[in-house]
Structure 1
Amino acid sequence: MFNFTPLLGAQAESAASQSLLELDGGIKVLVDVGWDAAFDAQRLDAIERQTSTLSLVLLTHATTEHLGAYAHCCKHIPLFSKVPVYATTPVINLGRTLLLDLYASSPLAASIIHTSSISSSSTTSKADSSPNLLLQPPTPEEIATYFASINALKYSQPHQPVASSWSPALGGLTITAYGAGHTLGGTVWHIQQGLESIVYAADWNQGRENLLPGAALLSGGQEIIEPLQRPTALICSSKGVEKAQSQSRKDRDGMLLSLVRDTIAQGGKVLIPTDSSARMLELAFLLNEAWKENLDGPHAATYRSARVYMASKSGSASIRYLQSMLEWVEESVRAEAEAHLTKTKGSTNPLNWQHVKLVERNSTLERAVQRSQPCVFLASDASLEWGFSRLALESLATDTKNLVILTEKSAPGSPPQSSISRQLWDLWQSRQGQGHTSSSGARLVDTDGTAIGLQEASTAPLSDAERALYETYITRQRQLHSTMQGDNTLADATAPDVAEQQDEEESESEDEDEDAEHQGRALNLSAQMTQSSKRKAALSDAELGVNVLLRGKSVHDYDVRNKRGREKMFPFVAHRTRNDEFGDLIKPEEYLRAEERDEVNGVDMRDGNKEDLAVGKKRKWDDASTSGPKATGESAGNKAQNGTPGDGSDEDEESDYEPEELMPEGPQKVVFTSRSLALRLRIAHVDFAGLHDLRALQMIIPLMRPRKLILISGERSETQTLASECRRLLTEGTESAGTDIFTPAEGEVVDASVDTNAWTLKLSRQLVKKLTWQNVKGLGVVALTGRLDAETAAEDAVKEEEENAKKKVKLESGNDELVKPARSMTATSVPILDLPNSTANAAQQHQRVTQPVHVGDMRLADLRQALRGAGHEADFRGEGTLLVDQAVIVRKSASGRIEIESAARGLQQPEWRTRENTGSFYAVRNAIYSGLAVVAGV
């Protein structure tokens, strides 16, 4: 059994991808946890309903469309963080940096609490219950923890995953990751269980790129790799089938670099919006190579006066991860990097991006935009709704010399307003006739003051009424989560961490005798949640009591007169050292691997340095200076020497130092402000999405020959276009004529089970003794003929029970009495396959009733070589026809059956002395038999 349900991204305007696979035995596999720029938590309701039944989760790409909601689900959906997750190492590392950039750049990523959820948790009227309250976003430490729990896999290594604790047994389920291209570590998943062989290929790219390798679907030319041949179901994305014409990599790169060179030569600035970790690396690598090659060419003055900026709040972490994942990049880049590591003469490090400067702060971006020098910005995100790309667009919009290059087609988005990238795309599409063509063939469109709509999202603190509404909602959610988890765990974003909570509970139990007002424990869950909520600084000073010394800002005194118990003492809790029978407990964060270490708020966590060197904070005399203009210049020079991206000319560079941005504390709400932006810059499009096109799909899908084809991840027009094309292609071949094509919508269940009837049988003892197994390509094969018998099932069950009882008696010392098992056992529901003759005499005088069969596949080219080696003449005559000794013709049908036709002189019986060189028909037959495995019958 195999049922497929697209949760998101099927014939829809959203580019997010979520798919649910239901296999035999109640196994459920969730592939991808994608999100879109709207960050609507209601689009994750389907995942929340299925979480308690999920067996495992698979991730394909490190993009927002494929794992943007992963951290949100781990934090706000009960039990989701306990489901085993599998992905490749680059997807884990780059996904972590992507979400760090997302939550640091967009307040809307925390997701707005829906009005229906707030109304159902309070008695407030609906008109007063829509203040756009935000959920608490996951912290950088929580994001690092979520991604550290993902199981890393390598390409082409079959793996039997471990299911969640509540999942049924996986029953031999095997998952294998294959390269998908498009992103670093992108994955095509092969899921094998019993008769089901499922290939999940979403957003793949067969062509190689500059930094990224292509999809590993073909082996040695025009053949699909063996594990992916003839799957029972192929789940494929339909994006990109409506492209006008596919370009080669050389033409695509030349068009982009030509647009960049022409713009910076005129003194303009170029903005290339892209995602923050995956496709950005490919673009940064290309631009760095272009700058390195042209510094001494005819356009040297143009390139020397311009700079390339990689604007992402987690850019340094992405570069660090890339330099530690050489085995995942394109083969030529890997070879060059390995030659540099071995200090081969004349080699350079291709991942040392000296001409790309990192921008991780808003002030640095503002200074770069205000400079009069031309420059190129690779900025996150591609939607231009959040990140540095939006800030750069607003600053560059008024200059006609500036240029925005769209690298992919934007999704339509959701009402009431499309994303900024979609508005730019529609503007470029509508003015194709009015634009002009550049020297490289790209279409440039002038905006001429056209206004686009912007919607700014900013956070604000809650009022007293909104705070009460928020606390009521959080209380209700904690009750729901505790009920679903089956314990009293308070999975709340506002609650303290577990270690601190346990310390406070221990200290409370020690002070019970001296504080009568705090004796006893909470008798119900509501009381527990009330006490937990009082621990936060969101409450008033009166409610905090003496804890205001810790929670309050600039509070240094507290009146303890007429106070009792803890209210008379400073709120200090001594943390106990916890240990078990092996000693002190280990803190996992102190033993992180290199790829798991990250920077949190600009501070390197690898050395345990979690202090914020804010303005005015003292520093020890022996500490190295890390701030100020001089320190910044020294650190930039060191980075350039150590291979960290820089711009190579820092003599006039300003200091990048600025105080850390303080994150807002407590619950927040989002406030939207709509305005318009007049554009005077130019717009161009170069396809750098790195996705398959219609031509690649027309080649790959017929070669795979799937029994079922399911199309997802595309707009309605793209899906229908690909479906009609596949129906035409798959009906032309004889082996794929029966392929069923499905185009499900979001939430529609597709029954894509293999068209085979399978039953579970149990072999009788007499039959098992007669089996002769043959090894065929690592599989045990036997041919047999038997008879189904229900009575034999009951007899075998009783015999097995008696033998188990005898073995048990022998093991027990001092007990010679044999206890007979009860014979009231009912017949088993599993039918028994017995010998055709069940009597004892027939079993003794058993003869083979099943003829031996041949298993395997004989290629005519191998047969021709074997016959020539035996002294025969063998040549091909026409397509698929082998002529032997001018007397015997060998053909191979489309179904794989070998047919032999012989003339009269080819049927001459060979003499035993000359058996090898006479009798062409018998020689051919013997050669065919020698190339196949003979499976004896029973």
Structure 2
Amino acid sequence: MDHLGAMTYLVSKLGLACPIYATLPVFEMGRRCMLDAVASRLDGEDFTLFTDQDVYTAFDRMTQLRFMQTEGLKGKASGIQITPYPAGHTVGGTIWKIKEDTNDIVYAVDYNHIKERHLDPTVLHQGIDAFSRPSVLITDAYNALNSQPPRRIRETALLDAISTAIQHNASVLIPVDSSTRVLEIAYILEAHWRSKSLNTPLFMLTHQSSQTVTAAKVLLEWMGESIEKEFSGNRDNPFEFKKMQLAHSLKDLDRAGNVGKIVLASMPGMDAGFSKSLFVEWATVSKNLIIITDRGYPRSMTRRLYKMWDSTGSQNETGAIRVLNADMNLKISKKVPLQGDELSTFREKEARDKENEANRTSQARKLRALDDDDESDDESELNQPVLNRSLVRDAFAESNSNLLNTEFDAYVRDAHRAGGFFKQSQSFRMFPAHESRRRVDDYGEQIDLSVFAKSEFPYAARQAADEAEAAKLAAEVVESRPIEEVIPNKVVEETVDIAVRCNVMYVDLEGRADGNSVRNIIPPLQARKLILIHGTEEATASLQQSFIENSQVTDDVYAPIVGEAINVSSSTNIYRVRLTDTLVSSLQIKPLDEYSLAYVTGVVRNPAQIEDVQAEEDNVPADDKMQVDSEEPTAAGSSDEQKVAKAVTAQAAALSETPVLDIISASERPSHHPVVIGEIKLSEFRRILENDGMQAEFNSGVLVVNRRIAVKRRRERKEVVLDGWVGEDYYRVRKRLYEQHAII
């Protein structure tokens, strides 16, 4: 919700038309999150900001990517490439790398460095080359002031608190989102219920609970390694819940009876949805427990409860349960059925709307039938003036009861149509009747495909009969059910006083890296410029000061306020030059992966200088140039030829202004030492040597080949050292090592 909550509004109301990129889980789970948010709002208010259809329309415009799939942008953004990497916060959550020429921008907001039950940690701190020395790194300061205990301690505190509530027959409310972080909590509780064989009712209560779990079952490849191993080991889908019940309304909770129950309810802020309704109902009971796993957004009910919990003790008390004794004024919106005069007025308006809609539908149907008949007329009728058809439509619009208002007892088709160019009179049957005509197209009468259809197999007829009988029985069952009358309602707001006497506990299951982890993850990336966003002023200032004092971090650390624009343009200068044919033919190009590399030594000249040099070499004066006939084209010349000529002229003019990189004479060419380009991991080099028939194994970080040659890496000097006896093995290993690099 934090990252795509406004997307639907931008697309549906503000006309956002730019391309939208996301991973497949973000598309699936994000759409369900937005649908649940719309339904939760509609439960208590007339939400008109956007509709379910707007959500579907916005998400259908998404281009779905896989992790580490590089996508090139088009249009005005041509030349920019984007690549998603796992963030570890939610399934499909992404760290974006944006690349243009020599500039790399890494957008890393809301990432998690800890391995969870259903997700692997982020790749941001794993030392991959994609994040090494980016031009700009954008990260968040949301948790800069927070510290987290180990994951097992937090999970144990959660389960212990729930077990205590179960012993006292209390109900537990856990406000959650509807499709992302709820999966982690649901997985923890489901595993605990199975291991302890608990029978206490456990519910996931959202408008999209069934759809969310169904989507999670098919997104296992996007989750953690432990999930894949569990599924591969016993072929039991981890999200095939056996203890947790999926609920879609408050009435579904009544299945458990009047006993304590544990409910994961949307929405996380408790300002709308099922979580707010259950809070109003359960907060007044002293034995009930509300577990907050997310601090909530500012001014939300969840944030208010978190501040109350935090103000009564130390923040580092993981799993501390505190009793609230507070009185709150809450504005509650609910829908109530219309009654009396309001209901009568609504029914009358509804009847008028239905009647008008029926009239419009009837007129449209008759006009479509008229157009269909006109299409199948013969050629002479097709050539009739269009004015006559408009007269018929005007006659239809005069009255709903008497469509043509003619003197005939029944409607006679084409009564107002003239007889063509020769003013022939219309001939009709004695009694008005609709004359059906054969359907024809431009090639004659349409073919009836059923005439040429093959006879069915013997069992096909029986199968069709059985299916028809089953459909008939199903229709009879549906017809026998009592039809529930939809009662119109209206939104009523009221302010109520709630005496909050329940227990509250906060346990951090947000799935975000804490402040200490952020301070350890960011410096090794060695970003040239660092931007801090998504944090309070206090948290942002604290993290900024920490990075400024760290010698490993750049001095360019920015912390813009909301609405502030900062200039982080790179000082790299890129020039476009044109290589001469002589220079290109002299290059010694070496392949490296998908690239071709060469060492270039040349001199930059203006195009005029190149012409002068060529003229001197050919002993031709520079002014003696080919004369071009500039006369106007003849009348026979086509406009296409003129366009091509203009394009060629424009291209030639552009090339004439582009500087030229020309070859330099051998006497003036400076010498250079060979440059080794490329980097290889010793683990990959070991595989290459083994494929070549050599024995290779690691010993204290050194790769030993055939017990004679040692290959070791000095990271501080960025060197690969080869030690051993000079012989056949030495030269074979050296040859394979050279093949993995480009030496120019």
Give the alignment's TM-score, normalised by structure 2. 0.69
Q: Distance in 1 between matches of 2:217 and 2:52?
A: 22
Q: Distance in 2 between matches of 1:756 and 1:692?
A: 33
Q: Which residue in the other structure is 2:28 paired with?
A: 93
1:68 pairs with 2:2: no
Q: Which one of the candidate residues 830, 839, 844 is aligned to 2:658? A: 830
When residues 86 and 827 of structure 1 are mapped into structure 2, their CA distance, relative to the original with a 3 A threshold, is: closer
Q: Which residue in the other structure is 2:250 paired with?
A: 362
Which residue identity does 1:406 align to in structure 2? I
When residues 675 and 742 of structure 1 are mapped into structure 2, their CA distance, relative to the original with a 3 A threshold, is: same
After superposition, the C-alpha distances for 1:584-637 in whole angstroms (9 at most, x for unaligned) are: xxxxxxxxxxxxxxxxxxxxxxxxxxxxxxxxxxx9533485899xx9xxxxxx
* C-alpha displacement of 1:786: 2.0
When residues 354 and 927 of structure 1 are mapped into structure 2, their CA distance, relative to the original with a 3 A threshold, is: closer
SS at match of 2:96: strand
When residues 830 and 270 of structure 1 are mapped into structure 2, their CA distance, relative to the original with a 3 A threshold, is: same
Q: Which one of the candidate residues 328, 337, 344 is aligned to 1:452? A: 328
After superposition, the C-alpha distances for 1:522-544 in whole angstroms (9 at most, x for unaligned) are: xxxxxxxxxxxxxxxxxxxxxxx
Q: Distance in 1 between matches of 2:249 and 2:115?
A: 33
1:292 pairs with 2:204: no
Answer with 1 or 2: which has the greater Rg. Answer: 2
1:353 pairs with 2:241: yes
SS at match of 1:725: helix
* C-alpha displacement of 1:169: 5.0
Q: Which residue in the other structure is 1:54 paired with?
A: none
After superposition, the C-alpha distances for 1:686-728 in whole angstroms (9 at most, x for unaligned) are: 1111110122212221221111111111111111111111222
Q: Which one of the candidate residues 191, 205, 227 is aligned to 1:333? A: 227
After superposition, the C-alpha distances for 1:753-784 in whole angstroms (9 at most, x for unaligned) are: 33322222222232222222222444322222
Matches within 5 A, 1:393-412: 393-411=279-297
Q: Distance in 1 between matches of 2:319 and 2:121?
A: 25
Q: Distance in 2 between matches of 1:580 and 1:280?
A: 60
Q: Distance in 2 between matches of 1:792 and 1:317?
A: 69
1:934 pairs with 2:743: yes
Q: Which one of the candidate residues 456, 473, 483 is aligned to 1:621? A: 473
Contact kept in structure 1, 2:96 and 2:107, CA below 8 Å = yes
Q: Which one of the candidate residues 70, 73, 76 is aligned to 1:158? A: 70
1:249 pairs with 2:151: yes
Contact kept in structure 1, 2:548 and 2:557, CA below 8 Å = yes
Q: Which one of the candidate residues 165, 173, 176 is aligned to 2:83? A: 176
Q: Which one of the candidate residues 693, 696, 700 is aligned to 2:514? A: 693
Which residue identity does 1:674 align to in structure 2? T
SS at match of 1:276: coil
Q: Which one of the candidate residues 175, 190, 194 is aligned to 2:97? A: 190
Which residue identity does 2:570 align to in structure 1? V
SS at match of 1:751: coil
Matches within 5 A, 1:485-524: 512-516=390-394
Structure 1, gaps ≥5 residues long: 1-63, 111-133, 296-302, 342-347, 463-495, 520-544, 547-558, 571-576, 582-618, 632-656, 806-811, 813-818, 838-844, 866-878, 881-889, 901-914, 918-924
After superposition, the C-alpha distances for 1:464-504 in whole angstroms (9 at most, x for unaligned) are: xxxxxxxxxxxxxxxxxxxxxxxxxxxxxxxx9xxx9x979
When residues 694 and 443 of structure 1 are mapped into structure 2, their CA distance, relative to the original with a 3 A threshold, is: same
When residues 517 and 856 of structure 1 are mapped into structure 2, their CA distance, relative to the original with a 3 A threshold, is: same
Q: Distance in 1 between matches of 2:40 and 2:290?
A: 21
Q: Which residue in the other structure is 2:577 paired with?
A: 761
Q: Distance in 1 between matches of 2:141 and 2:410?
A: 66
1:715 pairs with 2:596: no
Q: Which residue in the other structure is 1:424 paired with?
A: 305
* C-alpha displacement of 1:514: 2.2
SS at match of 1:455: strand
Q: Distance in 2 between matches of 1:261 and 1:624?
A: 48
After superposition, the C-alpha distances for 1:20-74 in whole angstroms (9 at most, x for unaligned) are: xxxxxxxxxxxxxxxxxxxxxxxxxxxxxxxxxxxxxxxxxxxx11111222222
SS at match of 1:453: strand
When residues 91 and 225 of structure 1 are mapped into structure 2, their CA distance, relative to the original with a 3 A threshold, is: same
Matches within 5 A, 1:599-614: none
Q: Which residue in the other structure is 2:347 paired with?
A: none
When residues 622 and 359 of structure 1 are mapped into structure 2, their CA distance, relative to the original with a 3 A threshold, is: closer
Which residue identity does 1:235 align to in structure 2? I
Q: Which one of the candidate residues 114, 117, 141 is aligned to 1:238? A: 141
Contact kept in structure 2, 1:88 and 1:152, CA below 8 Å = yes
* C-alpha displacement of 1:424: 1.0
* C-alpha displacement of 1:461: 13
Q: Which residue in the other structure is 1:612 paired with?
A: none
* C-alpha displacement of 1:142: 4.1
Contact kept in structure 2, 1:267 and 1:374, CA below 8 Å = yes
Q: Distance in 2 between matches of 1:711 and 1:580?
A: 67
Count of residue correspondences: 599
SS at match of 2:499: strand
Taking only aligned residues, the RMSD between alpha carbons, in angstroms, comes to: 5.1
Q: Which residue in the other structure is 2:452 paired with?
A: none
Q: Which residue in the other structure is 1:83 paired with?
A: 18
* C-alpha displacement of 1:853: 2.8
SS at match of 2:657: coil
Matches within 5 A, 1:299-338: 303-304=198-199, 306-338=200-232
* C-alpha displacement of 1:931: 8.2
When residues 713 and 460 of structure 1 are mapped into structure 2, their CA distance, relative to the original with a 3 A threshold, is: farther
Q: Distance in 2 between matches of 1:715 and 1:314?
A: 32
Q: Which one of the candidate residues 544, 563, 566 is aligned to 1:750? A: 566
* C-alpha displacement of 1:683: 0.8
1:684 pairs with 2:505: yes
Q: Distance in 1 between matches of 2:49 and 2:56?
A: 13
Q: Distance in 1 between matches of 2:366 and 2:582?
A: 66
Structure 2, gaps ≥5 residues long: 339-356, 372-388, 412-438, 444-470, 616-624, 630-636, 638-644, 687-700, 703-711, 728-733
Which residue identity does 1:335 align to in structure 2? K
* C-alpha displacement of 1:682: 0.9
Give the alignment's TM-score, normalised by structure 1. 0.56
Contact kept in structure 2, 1:88 and 1:153, CA below 8 Å = yes
Q: Which one of the candidate residues 30, 34, 40 is aligned to 1:105? A: 40
When residues 677 and 761 of structure 1 are mapped into structure 2, their CA distance, relative to the original with a 3 A threshold, is: same
Contact kept in structure 1, 2:677 and 2:743, CA below 8 Å = no
When residues 320 and 929 of structure 1 are mapped into structure 2, their CA distance, relative to the original with a 3 A threshold, is: closer
* C-alpha displacement of 1:677: 1.8
SS at match of 1:747: coil
Which residue identity does 1:453 align to in structure 2? N
Contact kept in structure 2, 1:201 and 1:237, CA below 8 Å = yes
Q: Which one of the candidate residues 841, 853, 861 is aligned to 2:674? A: 853
1:781 pairs with 2:602: no
When residues 761 and 676 of structure 1 are mapped into structure 2, their CA distance, relative to the original with a 3 A threshold, is: farther
Percent identical pairs in the alignment equals 25
Q: Distance in 1 between matches of 2:21 and 2:442?
A: 31
* C-alpha displacement of 1:453: 2.9
Q: Distance in 2 between matches of 1:580 and 1:203?
A: 62
When residues 193 and 569 of structure 1 are mapped into structure 2, their CA distance, relative to the original with a 3 A threshold, is: farther
SS at match of 2:2: helix
When residues 703 and 777 of structure 1 are mapped into structure 2, their CA distance, relative to the original with a 3 A threshold, is: farther
